[in-house]
Structure 1
Amino acid sequence: MRLHAPEVLVLFLLGAAASLVGDHSHVVTGTTEYFTDAAPFVWSSPIWFPVMVGAATVSLAELRLHLPNPRTTVTSRQGLAGIAAVVGTYVTTALVHSAPPVPSITLIVAMAIITWCALGDTPSVVCGVLAAVIGPIVEIVLVKLGVFAYNADSDGLFGVGPWLVPLYFAFGVVVAMLGEIAAKERKPEHVAV
């Protein structure tokens, strides 16, 4: 099973749009600061940021369709709940960026666990773990390159927010579900008789 072009476009745009809301929240609260103007900005983000998140969204959704037993029982309503959960968690990281690490990380971990328990399945853990590993590593590299920085109150994981790991995990789980929904909702292909 593979995503079709319209599904790829919708998932890409959805990931890009959600990333702009979360990143804007980080910028306006001082959680992150960009040091580059080499690329045009969309709202508060350099254009490459929503492109990267959109590409990650499509990649993880496609991966889920290649893992065992894609669900056909997930609904658009659950998809909307998943999007709200991830965007809400992302915005929460902006609001707690200056909070002590233990309560802020615990809150984001709890939100990620609830998201997985309510909306994920066992194969979605693969997508969640991949996102939780690769996403923070990419951000750590960009911070080390001087592209942007996290506020000193929230840079405890090699220069990035430690709550990125559970945030990315929830993102991966929800995107896996969105891939399942996209595949389930597609119109059946007509077969010539």
Structure 2
Amino acid sequence: MKLRMPQVVFLFLLGAAASLVGDHAHVVTGTTVYFETALTAVPFVWSSPIWFPTMVGVATVTLAEIRLHLPGVRTGVTARQGLAGVAAVVGIYVTTALVHTAPPVPGTVLVVAMSVITWCALGDKQSLVCGMLAAILGPVVEIVLVEVGVFAYHADSDGLFGVGPFLPPLYFAFGVVVALLGELCAETADGATRLG
């Protein structure tokens, strides 16, 4: 493992906290609703069952670690870029809550455009790998959770096998930004890290 424990903790908590903001936006706008099941008979943090921010925190650490095992870890990324990336992903997540009743094509195109801008401004070729992994695996996990009755998406935003069609680009942006955060955690030539 290339990440050190303080970095793992930081990335886990950052991913978990950001997910709580986005999920809260989804719940209060009616984009998603949780049902009473064994998976939701757990403590909630804000509007989310405790396992939700835990899963996102683990995904954050995992994608950052994957990025560090890919070639060409950039050394010129800055904490300012990391902050911009986190703000972009949280903003995109909240946008999906605000457009959940919009016609699917314009709402999804908006999220795709925001995600592409995020990649163009902050990503690189290797971050595409992390972005694509997240864009595939994130929606698949949500589709399974919808299928087993844990939660549901609003009828106006469930056109992708029961989940929002905006999820792949949202998860893509998440993966791109987490790749950048992983690079911030990478060791420099003198053994110091840029983050953590």
Deviations for 1:134-184, whole angstroms, at most 9, x for unmatched residues? 000000000000000000010000000000000000000000000000124
Amino acid at match of 1:89: I
Over the matched positions of the two proteins, sequence identity in percent amounts to: 74
1:142-161 matched pairs, under 5 angstroms = 142-161=145-164
Amino acid at match of 1:168: Y
Amino acid at match of 1:116: W
What is the SS of the residue equivalent to 1:68?
coil
CA distance in 2 between counterparts of 1:5 and 1:160 reads 34
Displacement, 1:188?
2.5
CA distance in 1 between counterparts of 2:171 and 2:191 reads 33
Amino acid at match of 2:114: M
Instruction: Give the TM-score normalised by structure 1.
Output: 0.95
1:64 aligns with 2:72: no
Q: Which stretches of structure 1, 4 residues or longer, exceed 2 Å deviation after superposition?
A: 184-189
Displacement, 1:23?
0.0
- Which residue in 1 is equivalent to 2:2? 2
- Work out the number of aligned pairs and report it: 189
Amino acid at match of 2:18: A
Quote the RMSD (CA, aligned, Å). Answer: 1.4
Instruction: Give the TM-score normalised by structure 2.
Output: 0.94
Deviations for 1:50-102, whole angstroms, at most 9, x for unmatched residues? 00000000000000000011001000000000000000000000000000011
1:128 aligns with 2:95: no
Shift of the 61–144 alpha-carbon distance from structure 1 to 2, 3 Å rule, reads same
Deviations for 1:11-54, whole angstroms, at most 9, x for unmatched residues? 00000000000000000000000003411100000000000000
What is the SS of the residue equivalent to 1:123?
helix
CA distance in 2 between counterparts of 1:188 and 1:11 reads 19
1:12-91 matched pairs, under 5 angstroms = 12-36=12-36, 37-91=40-94
Deviations for 1:104-143, whole angstroms, at most 9, x for unmatched residues? 0000000000000000000000000000000000000000
Displacement, 1:185?
7.0
